[in-house]
Amino acid sequence: MPDWIEEPPIPGSYRSIFKWGAPDAFKHPNKRLYKLMKETFNLTENDFLKRHNEGNEPVRCGHKIGLSKSHISALTRIVGPDNVSTDDYSRVKYASGKTAEEAIKLRNGIVDRAADVVVHPRGKDDVQKIVAYCNRNRIPIYVYGGGSSVNFGLRPSKRGVTLVMSKYMNAIIELNEANQTVRVQPGMLGPAYEEMLNSAPENLGAKRRYTGGHFPQSFEYSSVGGWVATLGSGQSSSYYGDAYTLVISQEYVTPAGAIATLGYPATATGPKINDIMKGNEGSYGILVELTMKIYRYMPENRKRFAYMFPTWDAAVEASREITQGEFGMPAVFRISDQEETDVALKLYGIEGTIIDAFMRIRGFKPLQRCLFLGTAEGEKNFARNVKRQVKKICKKFGALYITGYPVTQWEHGRYTDPYLREDLQDYGIMIDTLETGVTWDNIHHLHKGVREFIKKRPRTICMTHASHFYPQGTNLYFIFIAKMKHIREYIAFQDGIIDRINRYGGSLSHHHGVGKMLGPWMEKHLGRNQMEVLRALKRHFDPNNIMNPGGQLGLDVRGKDWRKIK
Amino acid sequence: MPDWIEEPPIPGSYRSIFKWGAPDAFKHPNKRLYKLMKETFNLTENDFLKRHNEGNEPVRCGHKIGLSKSHISALTRIVGPDNVSTDDYSRVKYASGKTAEEAIKLRNGIVDRAADVVVHPRGKDDVQKIVAYCNRNRIPIYVYGGGSSVNFGLRPSKRGVTLVMSKYMNAIIELNEANQTVRVQPGMLGPAYEEMLNSAPENLGAKRRYTGGHFPQSFEYSSVGGWVATLGSGQSSSYYGDAYTLVISQEYVTPAGAIATLGYPATATGPKINDIMKGNEGSYGILVELTMKIYRYMPENRKRFAYMFPTWDAAVEASREITQGEFGMPAVFRISDQEETDVALKLYGIEGTIIDAFMRIRGFKPLQRCLFLGTAEGEKNFARNVKRQVKKICKKFGALYITGYPVTQWEHGRYTDPYLREDLQDYGIMIDTLETGVTWDNIHHLHKGVREFIKKRPRTICMTHASHFYPQGTNLYFIFIAKMKHIREYIAFQDGIIDRINRYGGSLSHHHGVGKMLGPWMEKHLGRNQMEVLRALKRHFDPNNIMNPGGQLGLDVRGKDWRKIK
C-alpha cells in the first residue's frame, strides 16, 4: 500500500485549509480500491511512491487588502478587535470552499481570491450594523458557514468582507416541544445541533429526545444556516425531507431591511416569503436565525435492509414503486448503478465474502447487479411495515435480500468518504462529484447521457447513485475518478458534464446549490423570464449589489466571466 | 318546518347568481338545527312564515360599460364573437364570488362592481394575446375560475375584463404515470378532475386509477387553477397535502412574459420560481397550465373512525400527539369544539340515538365533549396502523370510540353544508366562516380569544373546528350564525373577528386566501418589509398594475379603500 499521509497538516499550511474534515482524521483507499485504481489508470506501485504538491507550505495570500483602514476600523468598532482578522491565513481559509479545483490550486500555492477582512459577528445586531455600514459604503459581503461549499458559493469574487457565522452564532436559542420546532442560529454545525437535540432532556430540560433529521455527507462541517441557504438534502431526506421543507421560518438581515418570516405550518396569505428566501445563497441577505422542524428521536425503531438487483432498470423500477406505494418512505434510500455497486462492494468489504459468493451463485453478475440500501424509521409498526412493503416490491423485481450488513458498513463511512480525496490527489488522481434532480420518466436517458460523456474519456471511473427519493422522481449523483495532469483539463471535463446534465434534462443541482460555478448555466436552465424574477428580487433586497456579488446564482455576471473578476 | 325553497332559482335572477351550487340542489336545516336557531335567536314559528329578499328579480347590472367599442372589438377579434359577453347577467355573474356580503347585496339588487366585458379564452394563446393587448392599453384583467371565492378575490374593482377559465380551459392534457403527475388546465372543476383520475384506465388508457387528493368543501364549484392561485386545502390535506404542495409546476402568462416553471421534484437552483408564483391570486399573472401530483386511488383501504373526547383540551392534545407520532397522518382529520360538537350531533342525526345515550352514561357531557372524525388512507397495512395508533392515543386522552358512523354521516354532507346558507338568509339569519392557521402552542389562546369576541354578541352561535393538521400546528375554522338586520352590522362584526384573529396570533388565512377582503390586514400581518417583497414582485410582473388591481393581497390600496374604488 502507498504511504498515505497519517499526520495532521502543518498548522498554517495550505493543506490545513483544503484538507477535508478533522485535521487528525483520515480515510485511506482500501486494498481493493487501490487495486482498481492501478488497473483502471494503468499505474504501478511506482506511481504511488512519491506524493505531489502536498501543500505543506505556509499560506501566503498574495492579494493586497483593498479596503481602507477607516473601513476596517469602522468594522472593528462594531464587533471588537478580537473579531476582525486581516492576516493571510484567515483571509485564505475563509475564502476557500471544498471544490476539487480549489484544492488543486492551493496545493500549488495559488490563491485565486480573498476577502480583504474576515469578521466574526457576535449576533444579529452586529450583522445588522455590518450590513448597514457595508451597504452605505458599497462594500461586498460574503458569508462563511461550515465551509463545505463545492461550487465557489463563498468565494469573495469582489473582495470586501467575509462574515464567519460559526464563532458566535452557533447555538440553539429555544426548543419548542409543543410545536416540535427549534430556534437556532445559522452558524451551528451539524454534530452540535444533532447532539443537542438527541440529548434534549439533559441539555435543554426537554421531555423527549429529538433529531433534526438532516444528515448530508458534509454533516460534520456544514452549518444549519448553510443547509437552508443552499438547499441541502440529508442522507435520510426521503423520510425527513430536504432542508427546504425542514425550515419553518427564517430571520434575515438584508440591505432593504430585516425580515422575520412567520412561523405558521401553513398559510394562504399570498406568495410565501419564507419560501422566497430559501436558497438565495447569501445574495439577498444574511440568514441570522432559523426555526427548524424537529422529529422524535427513536433510533430503537430503525430497521436496516439491503438488496441486490439483477439490473439497474430493475432497481429503478422497484424504487419508483416504493416511492409511489403510499406506505411511507424509507429514511436512507439509495440505489447504486452497476459501476458504483462494483466499487461499493469493494469499499464496504463485501467483495470476496460469503454474501458475494451467494450473489454470484444466484446469477447476480458484477457490472450488471445493482445495490439497494435502506433504513426505515419512525414509529415501530410504521417502520416495520415500510421494511415489509419494500421487501415485497424488491422481490417482485427480482432482488435478493443481502441482510442489513451492507447498510451498517455504509453507515460507518457515511461522512468519511470525502477524506479519500486528499490521498488520491497526493498521487495526481482527481475525484469529484456532480449531481442533479430528475423525474422518473427521464432517469435512464439522463443517466446514460451523462455516463456516456464521462466514460468517453479513457480510463475514467464513473459511479452513480440515486439517494433522495420522491414519488415524482429522484436525484442522480455522479462521482468520477480520473488521473489528470492539468487543472484546465479538469475544469473542461467538469463543464462538459454540466452541459450534458443540462442538455439531457436534469436539474442544474439537486442539493449542492448553484454558487458561482453553476451560475453560467442558470439562465439557460430556468429561462430568461424566470432568471429575471430572481434578479428583480435581487434588486429589491440588494440594490447596491453588495451581497455575495460576482457570479452567485448567475445573477450579476454574464457567462463564465465570474472567474475573471479582479 | 318553514317552507324552505325547493325550486331552482328563476334563470336570469339575482338568486341564480348568489345561490350556492347546483340550481336544483338544496340542503335544508333539519328539525334539530331549526329548533336550536329558534331557541338561540329567540324566534317563533311566526318568524319563519315569510321569506325576505329572495332575489327573484331579473339581474340589472347598473354599471355602464366603460371600455371603448374599439377595445371590445379587439378582444372579440382575439377570441371570436361567441366568447365575449357584455350582457348584464354575465357581467354580474362573473363579478360575484360567494361571500355572505355579496349574497345579501344581490338579494337587495345591489351590484357593487362589474367588469365591462366577460371573455372566455380558448387556450394559452388567447390568454397571451389578451394580456399583451390589455397591458398595452392599461385594461384591468380579472380571472374567474370556479367562482367560489369568499374574499372578493374575483371582484373587478377597477372594471375592465374578466376572463372565465372554465368554458374551454378545463381538461387534462396529459397523464404521466411514471411521474404520477397530470398536466391540467386551470379551469377544470373538482368533480371532472377527480372523475377523470378515478377512471383513468377508461378515460385516459392508464394502467391504474388515481386521485387528486384535494377535496375542499367548495370541491364541486372550484377549479384546479383556483386551488393553487389561492392556496386552498382539501378535507384530506393532512395526508395528501395542501394545494401548495400538490403542484409540481405551473405555466403563467404575465405582462412581463410567459413563465413555465421546471417540473423537478426537488432542486437546489436558488429560490424556487414555482413557489414564488403560488398564491399570487391573479395579481402577478394568469395561470394557464399546471402539473399536479396525483396518488394511487385505493378507496378499498379507507378506514373510518370517530371518537368523543371529554374536553376540547383533550382533543387538542391527542391531535397533537397524532401529528407528531411518526406513523403517517390520517386523511380526514377533524376535531370540533364543544359548541360545534353539540350542533354536529344534531346535524348528523346522532343526538337522541343510542350512541348519544351511551356517551351520556359514560359521562361525556353536552357542551363539554368534543368530536373527533378521521379516516386513514394509503396502502392497506399503513392505513390499518394509522387507525391503530390513533386509537391508542385517543384512549390515552380519555376518548370513547363511537364507531365510523359519524364519519359516514359527515361524508354525506361534506360538500352540501354551504347550501344551508340560502335557507337561513331567506329568514334574515346570517351564517359565515373565517379561518386561520395556528401553531400548537397558541391554539387555546387564539380559540378563546376569537370565541370570546364572537360570543360577546348576544344570541350568536359560534362553532369551531380544526381540520388541517401538521406536526407544528393546525388551523381553526370559525363558523358563526346570527340574526342580523343590517349588512353594516355584519361587516363590522366580521372585521372585529379578523382583528381578533390577527391580534391573537393566528395567520390571516389558512386556506381561504386573502382576496381584497383581507388585504387591509396584510401589511400588519406580514410586516412592512415582507409586504414590500410582494410589491417588488408585483412591479416586476405587472408594472402597469393591470392584473387583478384594486386591493388584491393589499398590494395597491391602503387600508379599507378597496371598497371605495369607483
- Residues 474 through 533 of chain B touching chain A, CB cutoff 8 Å: 474-475, 507-514, 518, 522, 525-527, 529-530, 532-533
Q: How confident is the model at residue B115 (pLDDT cuts 50, 70, 90)?
A: very high
Mean pLDDT of A347-355: 85
d(CA A463, CA A527): 30
Residues 12-41 of A with CB under 8 A from B: none
Q: Cell match 332575489: residue?
A: B55
Work out the burial of residue A64: count CB atoms within 10 Å of its CB; fewer than 13 is exposed, 13-18 middle, 19 or more buried: exposed
- Asked if B186 and B287 touch (Cβ cutoff 8 Å), the reply is yes
Q: Fold identical between B59-166 and B172-296?
A: no
A249 to chain B, closest Cα gap in Å: 12
- Element spanning A141, H or E: strand A141-144
Mutation test of the interface with chain B: which of A326, A380, A441, A525, choosing the one with the most B Cβ atoms within 10 A?
A326
Min distance A145 CA to chain B CA atoms (Å): 17
What does the pLDDT look like over B148-180, one tens digit per residue? 999 999 999 999 999 999 999 999 999 999 999
The cell numbers describing A202, all together, are 439533559
CB proximity A534 to B under 8 Å: yes
Whether A108 has its CB under 8 Å from any CB of chain B: the answer is: no
At B2, the amino acid letter reads P
Which residues on A lie below 8 Å from B539 (Cβ)? Answer: 536
* Predicted confidence (pLDDT) per residue in A171-223, tens digit: 999 999 999 999 999 999 999 999 999 999 999 999 999 999 999 999 999 99
Chain A contacts of B288, Cβ < 8 Å? Answer: none
User: Is some CB atom of chain A closer than 8 A to the CB atom of B174?
Assistant: no
Cα separations in angstroms, A323 against A238, A320, B293, B323, B406: 9, 5, 13, 21, 33
| Closest to A412 in 3D by CA, of A350, A454, A466 | A350
A426 pLDDT above the threshold of 90: yes
d(CA A100, CA B498) in angstroms, rounded, equals 56
**Mean pLDDT (whole number) for A144-149:** 97
Mean pLDDT of B268-288: 98
Disruptive mutation site among B131, B261, B264, B283 for chain A (greatest number of A CBs within 10 Å): B264
Taking all residues of chain B, what is their mean pLDDT, rounded to a whole number? 97
Q: Does B264 touch chain A (CB under 8 A)?
A: yes
Report the pLDDT averaged over residues A378-389.
98
Q: Residue A566 — pLDDT band, cuts 50, 70, 90?
A: confident
Write down the residue that cell numbers 331579473 correspond to.
Answer: B58
The answer to whether A181 contacts chain B (CB < 8 Å) is yes
Residue B517, min C-alpha distance to chain A (Å): 12
The three three-digit cell numbers of residue B238, written as one number: 393532512
What is the pLDDT confidence band of residue B284, given thresholds at 50, 70 and 90?
A: very high
Does the pLDDT of residue A348 top 90, yes or no? no
Q: Quick check: A268 and B514 CB within 8 A?
A: yes
pLDDT tens by residue, B325-345: 999 999 999 999 999 999 999
- pLDDT value at residue B350: 85
Contact A503, A449 (CB under 8 A): yes
Residue with cell 452541459: A499
Residue B351: predicted pLDDT: 86
Q: For the domain covering A299-414, report its CATH number.
A: 3.30.70.3450
pLDDT value, residue B566 = 79
DSSP-assigned letter for residue B9 = P
User: Which amino acid does the sequence have at B268?
Assistant: A
Selected residues 324-363 of chain B with any CB under 8 Å from a CB in chain A: 324-328
**What pLDDT digit, counting tens, does each position of B210-230 carry?**
999 999 999 999 999 999 999
| Cα B553 to Cα B538: distance, rounded to the nearest angstrom | 11
Domain residue limits, chain A: 15-164, 172-296, 299-414, 518-566
Residue A41 has pLDDT above 90, yes or no: yes
For A15-164, CATH number out of 3.30.70.20, 3.30.43.10, 3.40.605.10, 3.40.50.2000 equals 3.30.43.10
Torsion angle, CA of A286/A291/A293/A296, rounded to 10 degrees? Answer: 130
Residue A350's pLDDT is what? 85
Quick one: which of A125, A159, A165 has its CA closest to A146?
A: A165
Answer whether A17's CB lies under 8 Å from A411's CB: no
What distance in Å separates the CA atoms of residue A300 and residue A302, rounded to the nearest whole number? 6
* Residue B346, pLDDT above cutoff 90: no
Nearest residue on chain A to B181, alpha-carbon basis = A472
CA distance A183 to A250: 9
pLDDT at A397 over 90: yes
- Residue A48 has a pLDDT of 97
Alpha carbon distances (Å) from A445 to A319, A452, A489: 17, 10, 26
Please state which architecture CATH assigns to domain A172-296.
Answer: 2-Layer Sandwich (3.30)
List beta partners, residue B172: B184
Partners of residue A174 on adjacent β-strands: A183
Q: Do A326 and B296 touch (CB under 8 A)?
A: yes
Identify residue B68 by its one-letter amino acid code.
S
Task: State the best of B439, B441, B528, B540 to mutate against chain A, taking most chain A CBs within 10 Å.
Answer: B439
Whether B470 and A532 lie within 8 Å, measured CB to CB: no
Q: What pLDDT score does B27 carry?
A: 94
Tell me the shortest Cα–Cα distance from A351 to chain B, in angstroms: 34
What pLDDT, on a 0 to 100 scale, did the predictor assign at position B536?
98
Please choose, from the candidates A228, A121, A249, the residue with its C-alpha nearest in 3D space to the C-alpha of residue A182: A249
CATH number of B59-166: 3.30.43.10
Average pLDDT of chain A, as a whole number:
97
Q: Which of A440, A534, A553 sits opposite B179 (nearest CB)?
A: A440
Report the pLDDT value the prediction gives residue B355, as an integer from 0 to 100. 87
With cut-offs at 50, 70 and 90, classify the pLDDT of residue B559: confident
- Return the closest-CA partner of residue A210 out of B241, B238, B316, B471: B471
**Interchain CB contacts (distance < 8 Å): A and B:** 289
Record: contact B320-A244, CB cut-off 8 A: no
B268–A529 CB contact, under 8 Å = no
The pLDDT score that the predictor gives to residue B178 is: 98
- Give the tens place of pLDDT for each residue, A435-450: 999 999 999 999 999 9
Give the residue from B240, B269, B445, B501 with the most A CB atoms within 10 Å of its CB, the best one to mutate: B269
Smallest Cβ–Cβ distance between A437 and the set B266, B518, B526 belongs to B266
Check CB contact of B385 with chain A, cutoff 8 Å.
Answer: yes
